[in-house]
Amino acid sequence: MRTSQYILATLKETPSDAEIISHQLMLRAGMIRKLASGLYTWLPSGLKVLRNVEKVVREEMDKAGAIEMLMPVIQPADLWQESGRWDQFGPELLRISDRNNRPFALGPTHEEVITDFVRKEINSYKQLPITLYQVQTKVRDEVRPRFGVMRAREFTMKDAYSFHLSEDCLSATYERMHQAYCNIFERLGLDYRPVIADTGSIGGSVSHEFHVLAESGEDAIAFSDGSDYAANIEKAEALAPTETRAEASKTLNTFATPEASTIEQLKAKHGVKPHRGVKTIIVYGAADENEQRGLVALVVRGDHSLNELKAQAHELVHSPLELAKEADIIAAIGAKPGSLGPVGLNIPVIVDHSAAIMADFVAGANKDGEHYSGVNWDRDVTDFTVADIRNVVEGDPSPCGKGVLQIMRGVEVGHIFQLGTKYSESMNAGVLGENGKNQMLTMGCYGIGVSRIVAAAIEQNNDDYGIKWPTALAPFTLAIVPMNMHKSHRIPDIADKLYNEFKAAGIDVLFDDRKERPGVMFNDMELLGVPYTLVIGERNLDNNQVELKNRRTGKKLMLDIDQAVTEIC
């Protein structure tokens, strides 16, 4: 590819609305452009990287025995009604209707569609087990799209679904998929961890998430320093011993706002403590910009109807102490701005029933590692109920019994589930078993965030000059940078000749044939992260040599012109 005939689209300035390094670099390197919130156009070099991820994913899926197919993005609502998710999913499910007013959804995932396919096409035990997959656009109307393609509203996922007649058979495929995922992340050169995941609302028994380690990650994951136990924070918290939680809740006391200290006094007066399993949580106040004051929550035990809460809401903002007096259990919770959570929510939003589906937000002290997470409301009841309040902090004993927990940040790039019969039962998907009787299918599902991986890889592979692609991901393998080409007779000829030879040898080469200053060209190639740059300059040509620069190591190597192609290939 010649840059003069390409869209490099590199930017000198860092776009101000990009918060994390991968988002900044994807914009600056000309990989993506924003169309609207959470919607991105992939430019040619970005698309090449995306395709590289897809290639590795497809190869490993095929190797693991999965079969590729492709299902529609637009899905009829009746399938979602059958599975019960039309009502459960909430506003993340983008709903549309056609010209005849028939309701549809833009697929955030494809369990319903694949189960419908399988119940129609697979009739006999002889056709099982089977694993089907696709690489397809997913649509989720995320409450907070951010970080570019990391949390987009339209993104590429590889989703696979397996169907079995027994739990054992499902377990065997699940293991194979787990291994395939490890192979994929290994080949992509990512520092990743598989962690045990909470199956939460999806149900089922076994689940793992795959996280790419990165400070900017939206998730917390807990590792034991004394074993290979690793879990996402929700799972670690669900298993944490009660004493740990009680101990951790003490740390909340270190966080004192005027309100919190007043509540502390109240607690002392009434002799109450933060408690697990509380029934109603009422949130008032919010964190201010400079994180000096956290959001404060009152956790009130006992049942309060929605109407009662609404009636009290306005009062509450102005006189939290009045309500506090009535509460038999009170806790003060701070949360920092920027954490996905009740920050910025105020009472009118909280008491609006639609806000209740904001799931699993994090609320915690203005200190890393001291957050309550998994705070959630059950939206199917008229009262707000707190599903659970848990916390785990660094240094807690590991639930596995060995070692203490370390907590790190991660980006969820993959998620696998043993679903069991959840969908086959609700959608009546069975086959004729060996005994001649109808048998329900047992199911697994396996997702990879293909487009998110591109951003996650950049989080781990960058420096002050730009991206440093792992080989498998790089948009080009080699860049040819001729210096001051227009001032020389020999340089254009040699650059051209080498370009053609590399192309013939099957190397994906980018020939920077722009009439730009060498500095501009070097900067662009470094920003884009091309692993090798071949520099052609007058002085080295006098010795019949060209210079090869390694982007990752920064090392330079002189090569004889006639050996350059054989040495590099």
Can you give the binding site for ligand ATP, defined by CB under 6 A? 109, 140, 142, 151-152, 155, 157, 412-415, 447, 449, 451-452
Pairing type for strands 154-164 and 130-139 reads: antiparallel
Select the binding partner of residue 155 from ligand ATP, Mg ion, none (C-beta < 5 to 8 A, by kind). Answer: ligand ATP
Nearer to ligand ATP, 68 or 538 (CB): 68
Q: List binders of Mg ion among 97-156 (CB under 5 A).
A: none
CB-CB contact of 134 with 66 (8 Å): no
Select the binding partner of residue 526 from Mg ion, ligand ATP, none (C-beta < 5 to 8 A, by kind). Answer: none
Select the binding partner of residue 452 from Mg ion, ligand ATP, none (C-beta < 5 to 8 A, by kind). Answer: ligand ATP
The alpha helices in 68-212, defined as continuous H runs, are 77-83, 85-88, 111-121, 167-187
Could you tell me which of 68, 75, 69, 66 has the C-alpha nearest to residue 108? Answer: 75
Nearer to ligand ATP, 237 or 547 (CB): 237
Nearer to ligand ATP, 155 or 192 (CB): 155
Residue 222 class from Cβ within 10 Å (0-12 exposed, 13-18 middle, 19+ buried)? buried
Nearer to ligand ATP, 128 or 157 (CB): 157
Using CA atoms, how far apart are residues 281 and 412, in angstroms rounded to an integer? Answer: 29
User: Nearest distance from residue 179's CB to ligand ATP, in Å?
Assistant: 17
Nearer to Mg ion, 411 or 458 (CB): 411
Nearer to ligand ATP, 140 or 267 (CB): 140
CB-CB contact of 546 with 535 (8 Å): yes
- List, in sequence order, every residue forming a beta bridge with 509; answer none if it has no partner: 478
Could you tell me which of 118, 142, 143, 140 has the C-alpha nearest to residue 131? Answer: 118
Give SS3 for 379.
Answer: coil
User: Nearest distance from residue 417's CB to ligand ATP, in Å?
Assistant: 8
Q: List binders of Mg ion among 295-314 (CB under 5 A).
A: none
User: Nearest distance from residue 59's CB to ligand ATP, in Å?
Assistant: 19
Residue carrying the six token digits 């054992």: 168
Select the binding partner of residue 516 from Mg ion, ligand ATP, none (C-beta < 5 to 8 A, by kind). Answer: none
Using CA atoms, how far apart are residues 321 and 318, in angstroms rounded to an integer? Answer: 9
Say what the alpha-carbon torsion angle 409, 411, 414, 415 is, to the nearest 10 degrees: 50
Q: In terms of residues, how long is the chain?
A: 569
Nearer to ligand ATP, 420 or 430 (CB): 420
Phi, psi of 557 (to 5 degrees): -140, 135
CA distances from 272 to 246, 255, 382 (A): 13, 18, 27
Select the binding partner of residue 164 from Mg ion, ligand ATP, none (C-beta < 5 to 8 A, by kind). Answer: none
- List, in sequence order, every residue forming a beta bridge with 155; answer none if it has no partner: 138
Nearer to ligand ATP, 370 or 412 (CB): 412
User: Nearest distance from residue 513's CB to ligand ATP, in Å?
Assistant: 36
User: Nearest distance from residue 249's CB to ligand ATP, in Å?
Assistant: 25
Select the binding partner of residue 413 from Mg ion, ligand ATP, none (C-beta < 5 to 8 A, by kind). Answer: ligand ATP
Written as one string, the DSSP assignment of 195-217 is EE---GGG--S-EEEEEEE-TT-
Select the binding partner of residue 414 from Mg ion, ligand ATP, none (C-beta < 5 to 8 A, by kind). Answer: ligand ATP
Select the binding partner of residue 142 from Mg ion, ligand ATP, none (C-beta < 5 to 8 A, by kind). Answer: ligand ATP
User: Nearest distance from residue 230's CB to Mg ion, in Å?
Assistant: 15
Ranked by CB distance to ligand ATP, the top (closest) residue is: 449
User: Nearest distance from residue 412's CB to Mg ion, in Å?
Assistant: 5
User: Nearest distance from residue 157's CB to ligand ATP, in Å?
Assistant: 5
Ranked by CB distance to Mg ion, the top (closest) residue is: 415
CA distances from 245 to 122, 238, 394 (A): 48, 10, 12
Using CA atoms, how far apart are residues 200 and 220, in angstroms rounded to an integer? Answer: 16
Could you tell me which of 337, 238, 342, 340 has the C-alpha nearest to residue 281? Answer: 342
Nearer to Mg ion, 185 or 469 (CB): 185
User: Nearest distance from residue 262's CB to ligand ATP, in Å?
Assistant: 36
Select the binding partner of residue 285 from Mg ion, ligand ATP, none (C-beta < 5 to 8 A, by kind). Answer: none
List Cβ neighbours of 257 (8 Å cut-off, separation of 6 or more). Answer: 293, 294, 296, 332, 334
User: Nearest distance from residue 411's CB to ligand ATP, in Å?
Assistant: 8
Nearer to ligand ATP, 151 or 422 (CB): 151
List Cβ neighbours of 34 (8 Å cut-off, separation of 6 or more). Answer: 27, 40, 41, 148
Q: List binders of Mg ion among 381-420 (CB under 5 A).
A: 412, 415
User: Nearest distance from residue 415's CB to ligand ATP, in Å?
Assistant: 3
Select the binding partner of residue 157 from Mg ion, ligand ATP, none (C-beta < 5 to 8 A, by kind). Answer: ligand ATP
Nearer to ligand ATP, 259 or 412 (CB): 412
User: Nearest distance from residue 80's CB to Mg ion, in Å?
Assistant: 17
What angle, 0 to 180 degrees and rounded to 10, lies between the N-to-C axes of helices 44-63 and 450-460?
110
CA distances from 466 to 11, 116, 469 (A): 11, 46, 10
Nearer to ligand ATP, 371 or 415 (CB): 415
Under the binding rule (CB under 5 A), the answer on residue 158 touching Mg ion is no
Say what the alpha-carbon torsion angle 231, 233, 234, 236 is, to the nearest 10 degrees: 50
Interacting residues toward Mg ion by CB under 5 A: 412, 415
